Amino acid sequence: MTQFNSIFTDFKGCGFYRVDTLSPHVMTITKLDTINFTASGTFYFTAINDDCKDTIRVAEGRFDADSHL
């Protein structure tokens, strides 16, 4: 498992959220194409805002990304 840290902004005026590193947070690469430089995968995490005492849980995130340089 690879740990990742990110900062997110919200639309409620609370400002920035950060990944709660005490909760499970996982990103899984499900497909990696080194010829076409694409990757797909899934993720889940909990983000917290200490100022607003707010929590966001992302349970079934997915992504498709390409990186053509």
Domain boundary assignment for the chain: 7-66
- At residue 31, the pLDDT reads 97
pLDDT average, residue stretch 53-62 = 91
Instruction: Supply 32's token pair.
Output: 């990696």
- At residue 51, the pLDDT reads 84
> Does residue 3 carry a pLDDT above 60?
no
Report CA dihedral (12, 13, 17, 20) to the nearest 10 degrees.
Answer: -60
